Amino acid sequence: MWAKIGETAGRVYHLLEEGEKNLSSLTKILRREGHNTNLVIMAIGWLAREDKINVIKDHGKWIIRLK
């Protein structure tokens, strides 16, 4: 399971290199690529724990961006 979370975290990181994204758009992109929603959430947590991203709530949406 750790490998899948790490792989998904890497994909999230690369998507965020293109610019900040909200949680729903990240989830939508990654679900199309075969990652389930829970895996995306765990990957975001992984990146947050590693202090690689900022997660901000803005007008009811979760915005994720690289530090």
Q: Contact 53/44 with Cβ under 8 angstroms?
A: yes
Between CA 9 and CA 60 the distance in angstroms is 23
Helix, strand, coil % in the chain, rounded to nearest 5: 60, 20, 20
Q: Contact 65/53 with Cβ under 8 angstroms?
A: yes
E strands, 10-52, are 21-22
Asked whether residue 16 is assigned to any structural domain, the reply reads yes
User: In total, how many domains does the chain have?
Assistant: 1
Residue 1: pLDDT above 90? no
Query: Which residue range(s) make up the domain with 33?
Result: 2-56
So what's the pLDDT on residue 15? 98
Instruction: Kindly state the tokens that stand for 29.
Output: 């992109």
Asked whether residue 52 is assigned to any structural domain, the reply reads yes
Asked whether residue 64 is assigned to any structural domain, the reply reads no
Asked whether residue 20 is assigned to any structural domain, the reply reads yes
pLDDT, tens only, 11-67: 999 999 999 999 999 999 999 999 999 999 999 999 999 999 999 999 999 999 999
